[in-house]
Structure 1
């Protein structure tokens, strides 16, 4: 209870007026925010083998999640306008992958309700078959038994890379951050009404997803299930303290099943 009181006070501090939302990949460079998960920690090799890097048209970078031998889940705003995507599997350094595959736009399926309805920022990428091992593996989706679980108060981990540089000439190392899921009612105090297709997390101490993390995974600590796809952050910046938003995977279990065949019962 004490944790939720502190959380409510933190949210109230940034909710004097309705805040803007922006996709992390579209943050203006002038904000000078680190191009990676902010205030997280470096991942050890093999920590998040389901996480892939996605280079679209060799022009912009996003994250994604392996959900089957031949499917990756990401954000629709990442795939929009893409004619091709190169998938980086098992990378810890951003571009130093175990291997890569490239596919064309015919292998990209965007949710048909995006962008007209909030909460539908989700897309699938059909890939060549990949074998699983310690560095490259899938993450399970929530089962249909959990489709109405909002996960309020649960802890989860988000992982991803940002730009090629992080204030030094070295390539970005995969970063992760532990985040607590908050209710949509709490999130709505900052941004206005948020539908069930949105999942929000608190971002105390500047811990958040950021530029370059779009489309990446949010995975529960308890059960290791994929519950969110990185969608947006506050227009005031990743380190503003305002909640960050994900597409709620449980709201799209039917859509994922119908388009990829992946489902858990």
Structure 2
């Protein structure tokens, strides 16, 4: 990890009224790469061919999503260092179908939101390596309230567990922002955020930053992993993602990718 625990300040009148949040990448450093889906299930080969592992030169690990032959979508707080090694088509994290080294000149971070793009060398698609579609412009105002989605990543299956390298996935239900605001306040949960319920400790955790949240219905990328409760990944409190529909114009203007 690049940094130790980072707690975001809440822009509310009484900070004590709401919980803090923490970026999964910034959960305290351990002497091994940390990437975690808590209480999920092992992914069969090819389960999420759009999911990539991102090993940054600074020594931290994040996830990302293939959105075209030449672009990865991830979290801005992941971006850093001189380069990143992109792991494509890996079920076992370090046993990728292939990898690409990408220099920092190909990183594009959003100016004010926790979302970023990485330009990659052209990759061909097949059942182990493929893109995930973005929502269409017709769905840009869909809040996906109560929709089910899946998040996938690598690592331990509970807080403090040994690190298995096999990809894990977890099914999560999206909630209305008004429910999420009750935990974290409107200073953290803005229109650019989509939240999910964390039930029975099932959710995202350390190293899952930047990874995908993809709807069961239609298989659309609706979220980029951003933060979890400062009380812990398994505390049962909502987790937050960048809302992809909020950033469709930003993505289109930099990549040309759009669905109408």
Asked whether the two chains share a fold, i.e. TM above 0.5, the reply is: yes
Match of 1:243 in 2: 238
Deviations 1:11-52 (A, max 9, x none): xxxxx941101100111258xxx8510000000000000000
After TM superposition, the structure 1 = structure 2 runs for residues 42-191 of structure 1, keeping only pairs within 5 Å, are 42-57=42-57, 59-79=59-79, 81-113=80-112, 120-162=113-155, 167=162, 171-191=164-184
Match of 1:199 in 2: 194
Counterparts of 2:232 and 2:77, CA distance in 1? 18
Counterparts of 1:19 and 1:82, CA distance in 2? 30
Runs of 5+ unmatched residues, structure 2: 1-15
The answer to whether the Cα contact below 8 Å between 1:218 and 1:228 also exists between their aligned partners in 2 is yes
Match of 2:216 in 1: 221
Q: TM-score, normalised by structure 2?
A: 0.88
Counterparts of 1:166 and 1:207, CA distance in 2? 14
For residue 212 of structure 1, report the CA deviation from its aligned partner.
1.1
Counterparts of 2:85 and 2:58, CA distance in 1? 8
For residue 224 of structure 1, report the CA deviation from its aligned partner.
0.1
SS in 2 for 1:137: coil
Q: Which has the higher helix share?
A: 1
RMSD: 1.6
For residue 58 of structure 1, report the CA deviation from its aligned partner.
5.1
Q: 1:28 to 1:58 in 2, by over 3 A?
A: closer
Counterparts of 1:235 and 1:202, CA distance in 2? 15
